[in-house]
Amino acid sequence: MRIVRKHLHGIRVAQTLIRNAPIAVLPLAQRRRSRQRIVLNTGESLALILLQGTVLRDGDMLVADDGGLILVQAAIERVLRVSADTPLALTRAAYHLGNRHILVEIGPDYLQLEDDAVLVDMLRQLGGVKVGHVHAPFEPDVGAYGKGHKHGHDETFAEDYALAQAAYAAHGHDHHH
């Protein structure tokens, strides 16, 4: 069984290599797991051993231990699609989802998220919001830092906190009188 320990994100690869590469069609739940067995469209099984916290995106390339390339493709899955009567109503929905630390894909006039009955009820109570199910690839936004939400126990928290405080003070919000 081949092993994949490396992935390429945002790297331009020759179309010939991509066109001939086998494909790993994975739903978000699998694209978020760093250690697992995956099955390619060719039927081949691979061992995926990536750095913890790695999230594979549609179009990423995996590099097998023998140098072979594998294209990652986001699977079509059942997700909630939120639309709204006005931009303000959609923004309000995004705020409430973000406040609950929900993974959200932000589209030009919609939000997509994993199916959750409690969230459906909450969103419908906001008013001016429509919630339905669609079958589509799910590519949630990864957040301002590129790796998702930070907490005080993360190794880069002190650095991130210092940057945030400097930005806050630079915009005239320093309340130390």
Q: Specify whether the CB–CB gap between 53 and 7 falls below 8 A.
A: no
Instruction: Dump pLDDT digits (tens) for 89-112.
Output: 999 999 999 999 999 999 999 999
User: Cα-flanking dihedrals φ and ψ of residue 25, to 5°?
Assistant: -90, 110
Top pLDDT among 144 and 82 is at: 82
Q: Sheet containing 76-84: give its strands across.
A: 105-106, 111-113, 76-84, 129-137
Instruction: Dump pLDDT digits (tens) for 106-153.
Output: 999 999 999 999 999 999 999 999 999 999 999 998 765 454 433 444
As a CATH number, domain 2-74 is: 2.60.260.20
Instruction: Extract the tokens encoding 118.
Output: 């409690």
- From the list 71, 62, 67, the residue with the least C-alpha distance to 34 is 62
| Confidence category of residue 156, pLDDT binned at 50, 70, 90 | very low
- Fold of domain 76-137: Alpha-Beta Plaits (3.30.70)
pTM of this structure: 0.74
- Who's near 38: CB < 8 A, 6+ residues apart? 24, 26, 30, 45, 46, 48
154 has a pLDDT exceeding 90: no
* CATH 2.60.260.20 domain locations along the chain: 2-74
What contacts 24+ positions apart, CB below 8 Å, involve 155-162?
none
* CATH 3.30.70.790 domain locations along the chain: 76-137
